[in-house]
Structure 1
């Protein structure tokens, strides 16, 4: 059972959560011997007039959220990611972890409303993804880049425009979808299914059109994603990587060198679109989500099979007629919207 939150700690913590909306921040960071910090745009900012945090306060907050099983997992792994709702507040993606021998925690705000792609400011090459019927779509970005928002927007756009069965496999479940024209089922890995390996059998026995995978990608899970994409479904995969080059390198280099050729062959055979996103501040002080987009064609298939991944930039430049886009080109397009 979760440990009750001390009344004085609850009052202070409630105030800290309210600063997320007050300062239009995306993240709240609580770390020992430091003031509470917010992520506002692309900057980390200390909350004004807040005292230095102590271990008892942070520990009380964390333990008040954890079930017995979560507490056991945290004690074992020293890091735990989950979603949590607080009374009177929105849902948050929570990351508890150890640093310098003490508990630390961060909270990322999850918007109540999922905006479909048509309401997000994205380039045409990204909007066109919703025309796909099968194959693999990689959505990459660093933490805080907006990749989860983009991925949710893609799924919500399909939800509002297609009559399909969409299944998500997530660890943890972040955005809560509501059925529109499509039927959406959200599978929590570790709760509804033991792990992503069980997704293969699930999809084999279910009438599924579109799949979304948002879970840590080790070699076993990458292999499963590639297998899912060979089954005639449209598969969206979220990946933490700052560029398309680093996304491809991560997918391949996770495996032993003896498997690289086979994995590259599988990736080349199923990839339809790869997107990497990043946030940049504009001169007006707002944030813009730039994207680089690669789309399959014979040159891309050959590149994925044989060439060095440092040639991604050249592939994007040469693929402009096929609606491929660099970060710089996407920025120029967004500025005209």
Structure 2
């Protein structure tokens, strides 16, 4: 019974264009569509339902991990429709699950709307390229597109280290090995250290989650490899500061020097619901490490990075707020979405009011947004 139920839920998610399924005691199954949550018109789930649904798809070793640690993650394929990344966890003593749909097709750079210089950066022989943003901001899809681009266009040995593996890559022009933490290798940092003996050209690290992994990634870039990694940070300047601050004070000067010579780019992104309805669009902040930015990192003047990005638009760089405004001008996202995601909402609101004073949505945002942001919007 549970197997039939889970198949129906997975099918409904794909058919409705959903991105996630939430299974929790006390509610019907919930699907995230275009950033919003929608309850399915089925029964309210009880404890037995969530346990049965969990057991129908969760491998034995993951069920054991759930018993011992209260949480587990894994991935599985749903026929030819796509893969799901699953997080199972306990809350209030009950079992909950979140299933994230990983599309079966790779998206092109144009489809995702990635900045033009990224194709050239993916062909670089060495360096560290970071893709950052909050959970659910599309980092995995962006990185999968980059790896697929390399795989299709140049001959490289690509090693990915993921937990769990989400997008499956076939060998194309490149040779690709995908290692899963917990299955093929114990930790990210161990996989990174070992990979240097495996003749890699390109290394993807699913998450730079600790100091040891950051050190290994920087070292791999320094020794002549192209390394991609993710961080849960916001903005390019914030990403650089986050890495430096992760190290002890007596190592930070050395890390600034290493970053200034090995970091090649940071892409920070967030997903916004489309104004027209179903679907989402990514808004980006993008920094290429030019000699000017390299000097700012080395000299501990990262507070000037944003102004340097602002004045380097001719190189393809942009700040998040500028891209949000471009999406608003193109009528792709609403003014409320722009103000919600903007780094400087007060400045953004003033700009919108100045250039689009007749936007009908402006009349609806005053009191609510004022409380949210602590702004005087009158």
TM over 0.5: yes
* Greater Cα offset, 200-209 or 185-194: 200-209
The residue aligned with 2:257 is 265
Higher relative contact order, structure no. (Cα contacts within 8 Å, ≥ 6 residues apart): 1
1:213–1:236 CA contact under 8 A, matched in 2: yes
Mapped contact 2:256–2:300 kept (Cα < 8 A): no
2:291 is aligned to: 298
How far apart, in 1, do the equivalents of 2:91 and 2:240 lie?
30
Look up the SS of the partner of 1:277 in the other structure: strand
Task: Look up the match of 1:235.
Answer: 227
Give the aligned partner of residue 28 of structure 1: 21
Cα distance in 1 for residues equivalent to 2:272 and 2:125: 31
Q: What is aligned with 2:211?
A: 219
CA distance in 2, matches of 1:256, 1:74: 34
Cα distance in 1 for partners of 2:26, 2:249 equals: 44
The residue that corresponds to 2:47 in the other structure is 55
Structure 1 residue 43: Cα displacement:
1.4
> How far 1:201 sits from its partner (Å)?
4.2
User: Is the Cα contact below 8 Å between 2:193 and 2:216 reproduced in 1?
Assistant: no
Q: Identify the residue that residue 88 of structure 2 maps to in structure 1.
A: 96
Structure 2 partner of 1:3: none
* 1:330–1:97 Cα change, 3 Å: same
Q: Tell me the number of residue pairs that the alignment of Structure 1 and Structure 2 aligns.
A: 329
Matches within 5 A, 1:47-86: 47=40, 49-86=41-78
Q: Which moved more, 1:195-204 or 1:154-163?
A: 195-204
Alpha carbons of 1:97 and 1:297: their partners in 2 closer, same or farther (altered >3 Å)? same
Tell me how far apart the structure 2 counterparts of residues 92 and 305 of structure 1 sit (CA, whole Å): 41
Q: Distance in 2 between matches of 1:230 and 1:216?
A: 16
Residue of 35, 39, 47 corresponding to 1:46 = 39
User: How far 1:77 moved relative to its partner?
Assistant: 2.7
**Given the two structures, how large is their TM-score scaled by the length of structure 2?**
0.79
Larger Rg: 2
160, 182, 195: which one aligns with 1:190? 182
Question: Structure 1 pair 35/312, CA: closer, same or farther in 2 (3 Å)?
Answer: farther
The runs of 5 or more residues in structure 2 that have no matched partner are 332-378
CA RMSD across the alignment: 2.5
- Unpaired runs of 5+ residues, structure 1, are 1-6
Aligned-partner Cα distance in 2 for 1:73–1:184: 29
Cα offsets for 1:237-257 (capped at 9, x unmatched): 122223324433432333344
* 1:278 equivalenced with 2:270 (yes/no): yes
